[in-house]
Amino acid sequence: MIRTKAVSGLPANVDANLPALVKRAADQLASATSAAEVLEACDMASVAYDASKKAARLAKAKGAHDELIAKAHRAQADALLIESEAKRRLADEYDAAQERGEIGRRGDYGAVTSGAEVTPATAADAGLTHKDIHEARAIRDAEKVDPGVVERTLEKRLDAGQEPTKAALREAIQKVRDETRESLPQAIKDMEAAKQKAIADRKASKDATPLYNGLPADDRIAELEEAVRVLEAEAETLRAENKLYGEMKVQYEQGGFEKVIAGKDEEIRALLTRVESESQEKVRNLRAADRWRKRAIELGYTDREIIEING
């Protein structure tokens, strides 16, 4: 078998590997029937995009033929087109899940609200960031306003011999958004402006809130309450230790360890004396009981007799 040489430092089959990556992503998206499968297709397309981008730049750096660079750019554009379509579908899936109450909504100030009895999932639970959702919705909305804008943008870049990048696509999407915003009725523009002003005012008000030790009042109070709780626990521990070792501490201050040992020796001596005294008392009581039992038997009483002692 004849092995084809690499072109300008690149693998000879680079132009075959990239389309294969793109095709796998396209097939995955075409067969996807769930949000998870669409997300997987999106990730596969992103991998194909990155691989194509690196291949094109490496080819250019190595002085490869323009045809090879163009093939890498084509694979890059196809991968980005698939990724954009996957994001468009993800936006629809995500919004539908929010409508069903499966994923929580975020208000202007970040509070999650839902009428569901069970706390709904978050974007992170779905494997998405809020940036991912924003970009997906932007692509979806731009395609609704200007169908085919993604593909036209990428093809225009290819025709001009330029790299079809995500940055260029974002710029085109933003242009559509800006044009759409400008075409809105003035009443809607005013409402949006009022909304943005309210958000800015609230943020400014929050930023202007007096800080206590670098924290807002509520956070500082919570911090101090936790500190008090810790101190109270430490105080309780110290009280228990003082109760247990307080006398020893006094003895140590009076005469060091020798005083402490002498004190313990005295405690031991007192305990031994007490044990000995109590033991002797028990012996005397047992002997007395035995004498009275014998005397009772001599007088004719038995163990079964009941002796009246109340006269």
Q: How many angstroms separate the Cα of 275 from the Cα of each of 162, 263, 285, 286, 288?
A: 101, 18, 15, 17, 20
Using an 8 Å Cβ cutoff, are 139 and 173 in contact?
Answer: yes
**Could you give the CA distance from residue 240 to residue 21 in angstroms, rounded to a whole number?**
69
Which residues of the chain are modeled with pLDDT < 70? 1-16, 105-119, 205-215, 302-311
Per-residue model confidence (pLDDT) at position 111: 44
* Alpha-carbon gap, residue 147 to 165, rounded angstroms: 19
Report the pLDDT value the prediction gives residue 290, as an integer from 0 to 100: 84
Tell me how crowded residue 305 is: count the other CB atoms within 10 A of its CB: 10
Contact indicator for 52, 18 with CB cutoff of 8 Å: yes
What pLDDT is attached to residue 30?
94
Whole-number pLDDT of residue 245:
74
Residue whose pair of structure tokens reads 């494997």 in the numeric block:
127
Beta bridge mates, 269: none
Supply the DSSP string of 71-90, one letter for each residue. HHHHHHHHHHHHHHHHHHHH
Per-residue model confidence (pLDDT) at position 109: 36
pLDDT (tens digit per residue) in 67-88: 888 889 999 999 999 999 999 9
What are 281's two structure tokens? 């008392």
pLDDT tens-digit map of 127-184: 788 888 889 999 999 999 999 999 999 999 999 999 999 999 999 999 998 888 888 7
pLDDT at 148: 94
Residue 199 CA to residue 110 CA, distance in Å, equals 11
Domain locations in the chain as residue ranges: 14-106+122-185
Whose tokens are 């501490």? That residue is 249
Contact 101, 120 (CB under 8 A): yes
**38, 89 contact by CB (below 8 A):** yes
pLDDT at 16: 59
d(Cα 146, Cα 90) in Å, to the nearest integer? 19
pLDDT of residue 73: 92
| pLDDT for 218 | 75
For the record, the structure tokens of 180 come out as 């759409």
